[in-house]
Amino acid sequence: MTVAKPQAESKRKVLLYPGEDNYFVVEVPSLPGCISQGKTREEALANIQEAISKNLILHYILILFNNKLKTIG
């Protein structure tokens, strides 16, 4: 198995726009369903960084799980 080296500054394009109740909404087009919000622009961007990390970890776990099932099946 090959494991990618973590990148110090991985960059993704995000969409940041005003939402309801004076919150900022931020989405990651390259990761469908990866969306977050914050009371300020800075909070929204910090929240999306966490959401991206969790999203990528989940995808990695699902890939490992699917590969394990193929090996068993």
Q: Is 8 exposed, middle or buried (0-12, 13-18, 19+ CB in 10 A)?
A: exposed
Per-residue pLDDT of the chain (73 residues; tens, 9 = 90+): 444 455 555 688 999 999 989 999 999 999 999 999 999 999 999 999 999 999 999 888 988 888 776 776 5
User: Domain with 35 in it: what CATH number?
Assistant: 3.30.160
Residues in the chain: 73
For residue 2, is it within any domain? no
Domain count, the chain: 1
For residue 29, is it within any domain? yes
For residue 10, is it within any domain? no
For residue 37, is it within any domain? yes
For residue 58, is it within any domain? yes
* Residue 60 lies in domain: 15-72
pTM exceeding 0.75: no
Paired tokens of 39: 């009371």
